Copies of this chain bind each other. A is one copy, B any other.
Amino acid sequence: MSPQNFLDSGQKYRMTHQRQVILEEVQKVNTHPTADEVYEMVRKRLPRISLGTVYRNLEFLSTSGLIQKIGPPSNQMRFDGKTENHYHIRCVSCGKVEDAPVESLDNVERAMRSHSDYSILGHRLEFLGICPACRGKETSFHKNV
């Protein structure tokens, strides 16, 4: 990947200094920081950077595949009347959530119990995909991811 034009899309994006620093800071730690924490880290090197820029660039970097977003696939909570443990699949295009036809991963959770020093309370598995209704409809993804 060229330093200037690292995306193979047609657009020309620059790896600016701010972007570079944010990327380095996120890669440097293994604490999976929040946007605010990244802001604090970056601010030590770039005191005049703004929180908005950090958000913009974290979004940019994760869209580019250089870093990963963890957690909230959507920022809106959803509720489920079924209380048994089961999994979901979320359409990245329309944000719809349905149940996933997969049996419970009890063995995986059991493995975690022995490999980890955490007290394991449970786990959550979610698939991401495009639902039949959305497939073909859109070229780019909806914001609701």
Contacts and interface: CB of A to CB of B under 8 A. Distances in A.
A68 interface: yes
Interface string A98-134: 1111100100110110011111111111111111100
A71 interface: yes
A140 interface: no
B65 A83 contact: yes
9 contacts: A31-B96, A67-B79, A69-B79, A71-B97, A89-B120, A102-B108, A118-B127, A122-B128, A125-B126
Contacts of A69: 77-80
Interface in A53-99: 58, 62, 65-83, 88-89, 91-92, 96-99
A77 B67 contact: no
A71 B77 contact: yes
Interface residues of A, number: 69
Contacts of A111: 102
Stoichiometry, copies per complex: 2
Given A27-B81, A67-B80, A79-B68, A121 B130 contact: yes
A112 B80 CA distance: 21
Given A71-B72, A112-B127, A123-B128, A91 B79 contact: no
B108 A130 contact: no
